[in-house]
Amino acid sequence: MNNIVEFSITCPPETALKKLTKANIAVFKLKKHGSTLTFGVLQEYSEKVFAIFSHPCYNITVKRHSAKTRALTFLKRRFGLVIGAAVFVCAAAVSGNVVMRIKVTGNGSYLSERIISIANECGAREWSLCKKLDAPLLQAKILALPDVNFCSVQREGAYLIIDVRTEEEHTAKVNYQPLKADVSGEVYRIVAICGTAERAQGDKVNAGDILIGAYELTEEGESNPCLVVGFAEITANASLSLYYDKESEENTEEALKAAALYSDRIVSQSYTVAPCDGGVKYDVTFSYIETVAINME
């Protein structure tokens, strides 16, 4: 298949596979070599893969570009003007003059929206030159936010990293929001220690639906606000697409094991095999139990 880009990443297989599956990205020839994982995706998902593994700890690189990209690169080398422009863009990115993404880290990341807005006011915008960035002013404005006691601003390649720390008392506050489903599926079990269950076993739910409401009903039928404490288990469905050079017992076993990397509570699974360009495609469909909880620690 000529449209496959191969990546190399330092990451546990289960983590990589779970992230790629949730993004609906088909994986080709997943292999593990020591602490390094290699896999291929269709070229149109290359940028999405970089976005998924954007954290510096993943150390992701392109091991091999697609045949189409290599051919196009060869042709572009014939045109000095195009190469000159590419060199300029690459030089700008490498030198740190272009901010491709602003990332907020630390336990103050819940303030991301406000912090990025402040960064824009101080001269930092994604996909733009940052020659007018006033880092000291940016730090001062972030430190002026409620409960913030530490802030650092630094460049890491094409990223602007803003690390924000808040007071422990603030981050330890309980969550007064209702418990919501994070996946679509069927309620397997729901336990409301405090609050009112709005779904029962066997109910169909969608991601974002309220499972336990932040209120309790009195004997008179009145609703009183309260802290939600409880959890719910949802039976959800998912699927994976894996590509191999041929159908075999070994490849079948590996494909089925991939579901276990996604979740450790697999309920059922099945697979189909179909020929494709250069090999075969395994489509693995499975059901698993997802647990969501609130204020249970």
Say if residue 105's pLDDT is above 80: yes
**pLDDT tens by residue, 230-239:** 999 999 999 8
Say if residue 92's pLDDT is above 50: no
Pair 218, 224: CB distance under 8 Å = yes
Q: 3-class secondary structure for the chain?
A: CCCEEEEEEECCHHHHHHHHHHCCCCEEEEEEECCEEEEEEEHHHHHHHHHHCCCHHHCCEEEECCHHHHHHHHHHCCCHHHHHHHHHHHHHHHCCCEECEEEEECCCHHHHHHHHHHHHHCCCCCCEECCCCCHHHHHHHHHCCCCEEEEEEEEECCEEEEEEEECHHHHCCCCCCCEECCCCEEEEEEEEEECEECCCCCCEECCCCEEEECEEECCCCCEEECCCEEEEEEEEEEEEEEEECCCCHHHHHHHHHHHHHHCCCEEEEEEEEEEECCEEEEEEEEEEEEEEEECCC
**pLDDT tens by residue, 153-200:** 888 877 889 999 887 654 445 556 899 999 999 999 999 988 899 999
**pLDDT tens by residue, 130-146:** 677 888 888 888 888 87
**pLDDT tens by residue, 147-162:** 888 899 888 877 889 9
Q: Is the pTM of this model over 0.75?
A: no
Say if residue 90's pLDDT is above 60: no
Mean pLDDT over each residue of the chain, to the nearest integer: 81
